[in-house]
A and B are shown apart, each in its own frame.
Chain A
Amino acid sequence: MSKSVGKSVTRVDAYEKATGRAKYMDDLCGREALIAKICHSTIAHGFVKSVDTAAAEAVPGVVKVLTCFDAPDIEFPTAGHPWSTDPHHQDVADRKLLNQHVRYYGDEVAVVIAGDEVAAAQAVRAIRVEYEELPFVLDVQEAMKDGAPQIQERCQNNILAHSDVRRGDYEAARQEPGLIRVEGWYDTPTVQHCHIENHGCFAYEEAGRMVVVSSTQIPHIVRRVVGQALGLPWGKVRIIKPYIGGGFGNKQDALYEPLCAWCCAQVGGRLVKLECSREETFVSNRVRHAIRTHIISYVRPDGTLAARKLEAFSNQGAYASHGHGIVAKGMNAFPQLYPCPNVECDSWTVYTNRPSAGAMRGYGIPQAMFAGESHIDDICQALHMSPLEFRRKNLMPMGYVDGFSKNELYSDTFHQCMDKALEMLDYRKKFEEYQNQDGPVRRGVGLAVFWYNTAVWPISLESSSCRMVLNQDGSLQFQTGETEIGQGCDTAYSQMVADAVGVPLGDVHVVSTQDTDVTPFGTGAYASRQTYIGGFSIMQTALALRERILAVAHEQTRMPVSNLDLVDGQIVRKSDGRILKSLGDLATESLYSLEHSQHITAETTAQIKSNAYSFGCSFAEVEVDIPMCKVNLLRLVNVHDCGTLINPALAEAQVHGGMSMAIGYGLSEELKFDEKTGKPLNNNLLDYKLSTFMDHPALEVGFVENPEPTSPYGTKALGEPPACSGAPAIRNAILNATGVAIDSCPITPHVLYRKFKEAGLIND
């Protein structure tokens, strides 16, 4: 049988995308659509006293102006998590369609529905909002203080959630004589996903139901949220997800689908489109949580860990979105990555008057790795120990089992990945060579590892459904609820289907669009889950389809099923290998049989109660121009163990993208706010410095393939891991080059200027 899995086959959507024919949200929207445009708050915190819409309504072309006083008083959750029937495990419902209590600069106050975008924009500018201003707070620890502005009524001191981890006895263990204490505070910034297609959607009513076509990663979840937000039975809502221009977690939230659907309902079900501008995407969608982390380690001179403490403060912004899940994931990685018998961890998720933070590629791990892996190098400095050797000594060993998730490290992943990466970079030689430099321009090498786990079990439900429908010619369509967002899952799935059913790849047709009316249930693209989770339902459904096919083959050939096989689209007699008939002939005969007509299909749901570690590392080489305060990233190497590669070329491409995001995170990206007003300062692609073609070295990728035993295809997470370790690797390379330990990212020239001055490297 010709195996498809493991080959770098061409993306199934490559032609459509290379020709511009692939249809995205706006390509599908009728040109008759009314345009909805949001009036955002121009204060960071306060109450809307009144909204004067008279001038806006007078703008020619305006159909309707709706304000926070018109919107239903329904609070709904937006996070792209599977729903829980247990009220204690449900996402926090703190969002309304429009808000009288505005909680960040950019909150939704009113919405205009007009005949065209110019009229809509004019009307938004003509709306006069009167506010009662309240004090606001942007800093996470300031927000926790007594007397800080109260952002959400339900949360004392703005603390949305706190959780902890305790192992052994930290207080007792740190009394051991001879320990070296290393302490650090590490800050990570608010950043944004910057998918090139902004979020947008359009809504219309059909047969008394609400249809929303949206640029989303999670159509089935959005259907539930639209139902909740509008008070509609969920069956009255239909969500369609076409091709989307990237998501990276931002579109793993219900964004403006509920508001757009409500606008549609307010104009009698007419077609209404709501597209975010780039400026809105930055502020009024979701951002990555800025997290401040405090770590204290007590280390023995031989480099073993005696006791460790971690405190993490996660800046949630104005609304709960994904909430505490992000910082909790990072905190839980801490005691696992470098096992230590005595650990005390606490994490807080805190409301502030910033944009709402939600999911973003890595889900708390880029923040945790920047803090944790920077701290490891700080320990190495204190101990005068090589960063590589310290990690070799202390990283999670093979055979480690986590008590909660039951995850096991089945292979010697960390050593294998580091071995490969250090060879690719020639790390040892360079590390020696770069000791004791004193010129204005210096070079350095650094490394960082990362911890990641696949999917969301056992925190939440993991399930996936798949449907396969055999055509008369022996080809088949398959559908899952899991979504193609650019990462290539449609292609990987097609490869899996071809092998599991026993048909050539060319006979497998993926239904790329998810339509909640016809697509089997699946929760969508997040948690680097799809290749792993989808693999279970694909394998299970393929086996069911094969069983049906072979049963029909038995009817048609009179051979017992036990002597039949389906190989490359042919029914084969196993005993002598003879091809009895093609699958196409079988399918045609089956469908049109006057005796026993059957449409051969299969549909199953797989619930998955396992999870898989997916680890790797980054190695960086930098050149630091000290007088110019500039870092030139010379090389970046990522090595991953994501199990068996389904499609090596697409896997490598995925890693490139994550590395690129990590470079921006490490060196340049930060959404900034005016301390005096809370207004975002750089919410556009010119002032927000996401890396360009000229800000990258060649990106170097390696893989170590230890097949994951819990997956039917030996695979595990790869979508998010590449974004997790690049920034601390760059930070540690700068430390190696200059001896200066930077405690925050992005490491911009401004940061370097201050730090180099402190260190006496710059004397103005």
Chain B
Amino acid sequence: MERHEMQYQTVHFNLNGEDVERTVDVRASLTDMLRNDFRMTSVKKGCEVGECGACNVLINGEAFNSCIYLAVWAEGKKVRTLEGLLGPNGELSDIQQAFVDEAAIQCGFCSPGFILTAVEILESGREYTDAELRKLLSGHLCRCTGYENILRAVKKTMYKRLGKELPQ
């Protein structure tokens, strides 16, 4: 068996607002780098082939499954994980609080990925119908919640940010 030629590369990127650099094995996925080098436990491994959404992070504002994204591709990018949403004193962001309040969290394994996609949705500043929200959130699988309370949490936060009443 031929040994892979060890290849390392230094990646410079912005992680949750902070400029960072790490020398990584080029074979590493972004999930590997975030979990192993930055100990970001919010980035979960559920399938490692882009089918479940548990490893979702925001790259330049868009949601990506970090399991099928090479770590070295993060060069020059702005990467956000769930850890970046927390206030300086551990305050939850509005969308995290809505997940808590709407009982949208059960086992908690899909929650970080979902919350980050919700951030992308909310930051668009647009109002979406239920059907549109379902589609925008459809890159994540959840086996505990039937998605129902997740929809409620995202919808509630969307209306709150838009300064509108939540329709009944």
Q: Do chains A and B touch in the complex (CB under 8 A)?
A: yes
Report A's interface with B, CB cutoff 8 A.
Answer: 8, 10-11, 13-24, 26-27, 31, 55, 58-60, 118, 122, 126, 193-198, 243-246, 248, 277-278, 485-488, 649-650, 652-654, 656-661, 663, 684-686, 690, 692-694, 696, 698-699
- In the bound complex, CA of A692 to CA of B134 (Å): 9
Report chain A residues within 8 Å CB of B107.
195-197, 243-246, 485-486
| B166 nearest CB across to chain A (Å) | 14
Q: Is the CB of A487 within 8 A of B106?
A: yes
With A18-B92, A19-B83: A118-B52 Cβ-Cβ less than 8 Å: no
- In the bound complex, CA of A15 to CA of B51 (Å): 26
Q: Is the CB of A18 within 8 A of B111?
A: yes
* Contact among A24, A60, A694 with B135 in the assembled complex (CB-CB below 8 Å): A694
Q: Is the CB of B147 within 8 A of A684?
A: no
* Contact among A243, A649, A657, A684 with B146 in the assembled complex (CB-CB below 8 Å): A657
29 contacts between A and B (CB under 8 A): A8-B103, A11-B100, A15-B92, A17-B108, A18-B92, A18-B105, A18-B115, A19-B83, A20-B43, A20-B82, A26-B45, A31-B36, A126-B1, A194-B143, A196-B52, A196-B143, A197-B44, A246-B109, A248-B143, A278-B48, A485-B107, A653-B104, A653-B145, A684-B49, A692-B138, A693-B140, A694-B135, A696-B134, A698-B130
- Which residues of B, 121-146, contact A by the 8 Å Cβ criterion? 130, 134-135, 137-138, 140-146
Report B's interface with A, CB cutoff 8 A.
Answer: 1, 3-4, 27, 35-36, 40-49, 51-52, 54, 81-83, 86, 90, 92, 96-97, 99-101, 103-112, 115, 130, 134-135, 137-138, 140-151
Closest to B106 in A: A486
- In the bound complex, CA of A20 to CA of B84 (Å): 11
- In the bound complex, CA of A653 to CA of B99 (Å): 12
Q: Is the CB of B146 within 8 A of A656?
A: yes
| B65 nearest CB across to chain A (Å) | 12
| A725 nearest CB across to chain B (Å) | 15
- Sample of 20 further A-B pairs with CB below 8 A, known A244-B107, A652-B103: A11-B105, A18-B97, A18-B115, A19-B96, A20-B43, A27-B41, A122-B1, A126-B1, A196-B110, A278-B49, A486-B106, A653-B104, A653-B106, A659-B146, A684-B51, A693-B134, A693-B137, A693-B138, A693-B147, A693-B151
Q: Is the CB of A10 within 8 A of B101?
A: yes
Q: Is the CB of A694 within 8 A of B106?
A: no
At the interface, is chain B mostly helix, strand, loop or mixed? loop
- Total cross-chain contacts (CB, 8 A): 180
* Contact among B41, B101, B140 with A20 in the assembled complex (CB-CB below 8 Å): B41
Q: Is the CB of A245 within 8 A of B44?
A: yes
| A72 nearest CB across to chain B (Å) | 29
| B149 nearest CB across to chain A (Å) | 6
| B147 nearest CB across to chain A (Å) | 5
- In the bound complex, CA of A23 to CA of B97 (Å): 20
Closest to B37 in A: A31
Q: Is the CB of A650 within 8 A of B92?
A: no
Q: Is the CB of B52 within 8 A of A685?
A: yes
Nearest first, the 5 A-B pairs at minimum CB distance are A20-B42, A486-B107, A245-B109, A17-B108, A660-B146
| B8 nearest CB across to chain A (Å) | 14
| B48 nearest CB across to chain A (Å) | 7
Report chain B residues within 8 Å CB of A118.
4, 27
With A17-B108, A196-B110, A657-B106: A686-B51 Cβ-Cβ less than 8 Å: yes
- In the bound complex, CA of A198 to CA of B52 (Å): 11
* Contact among B42, B47, B104 with A19 in the assembled complex (CB-CB below 8 Å): B42
Closest to A122 in B: B1
Residue of B35, B106, B115, B149 contacting most chain A CB atoms (<10 Å) = B106
Q: Is the CB of A19 within 8 A of B92?
A: yes
Q: Is the CB of B81 within 8 A of A20?
A: yes
With A19-B82, A693-B137: A488-B143 Cβ-Cβ less than 8 Å: no
Closest to B50 in A: A686
Report chain A residues within 8 Å CB of B134.
693-694, 696
Closest to A123 in B: B1
- In the bound complex, CA of A650 to CA of B151 (Å): 16
- In the bound complex, CA of A574 to CA of B134 (Å): 55
- In the bound complex, CA of A368 to CA of B60 (Å): 50
- In the bound complex, CA of A246 to CA of B145 (Å): 11
Q: Is the CB of A24 within 8 A of B148?
A: no
Report chain A residues within 8 Å CB of B86.
19
Report chain B residues within 8 Å CB of A245.
44, 46, 107-110
Report chain B residues within 8 Å CB of A485.
107
Q: Is the CB of A690 within 8 A of B146?
A: no
- In the bound complex, CA of A74 to CA of B139 (Å): 44
Report chain B residues within 8 Å CB of A17.
105, 108, 111
Report chain A residues within 8 Å CB of B100.
10-11, 14-15, 18
Report chain B residues within 8 Å CB of A22.
41, 108
Q: Is the CB of A278 within 8 A of B51?
A: yes
Q: Is the CB of A196 within 8 A of B105?
A: no
Q: Is the CB of A656 within 8 A of B145?
A: yes
With A11-B105, A244-B107, A245-B108: A277-B44 Cβ-Cβ less than 8 Å: no
Closest to B54 in A: A196
- In the bound complex, CA of A193 to CA of B146 (Å): 14
Q: Is the CB of A196 within 8 A of B141?
A: yes
Closest to A649 in B: B103
Report chain A residues within 8 Å CB of B35.
26
Report chain B residues within 8 Å CB of A486.
106-109, 144
Closest to A22 in B: B108
Q: Is the CB of A653 within 8 A of B103?
A: yes
With A486-B107, A698-B148: A685-B51 Cβ-Cβ less than 8 Å: yes
Report chain A residues within 8 Å CB of B148.
653, 656, 696, 698-699
- In the bound complex, CA of A246 to CA of B44 (Å): 13
